[in-house]
Amino acid sequence: MMQPGLYHILFISAALFFIGVFGFFTRRNLITMLMSVELILNSVNLNFIAFNKYLWADKLDGLFFTIFVIAIAAAEAAIAIAIIINLSRNFQSIDVEKTDEMKF
């Protein structure tokens, strides 16, 4: 056990990213796939903040990128949930294997 620093946070964010990738590969339900995408976006945010704090503390650019990623993630989640609700209305299912028709 060492003093926690940049490498520890990079380890956490890499692990969180690949947990999200694992969920994205295995899940076949659209809502759980959306949750995996949220985990991936969070790991990226953690990375930006860690680099800003430990390497470029004289600037705030990593912090601004994190704010913009959070805003875009909120918009993405809202759109994805609108699409999921529309799908469940048309197909009575949100399983990606059953929704194989590109028709509105």
Partner 1 sequence: MSGADILFYMLAAMILGSGILSVTTRHIFRAAIFLLFSLIGVAGMYFWMQYEFIAAVQIVVYVGGITVLIIFSIFLTQQAGEKLPEQKMGRQLFAALAAFCGFAFIMLQILRHSFIGTTKTTAEPSVVNIGNQMLGVEQGGYALPFEVVSILLLAALIGCIVIAVRNKTQTT
**48, 34 contact by CB (below 8 A):** no
Among residues 84, 98, 101, 102, which is the contact residue for partner 1, using CB under 8 A? 84
Length of the chain: 104
Among residues 22, 99, 100, 101, which is the contact residue for partner 1, using CB under 8 A? 22
User: Helices 30-54 and 6-26: crossing angle, nearest 10°?
Assistant: 170
- Asked if residue 6 binds partner 1 (CB under 8 A), the reply is yes
Least distance between partner 1 and beta carbon 100 (Å): 17
- Asked if residue 101 binds partner 1 (CB under 8 A), the reply is no
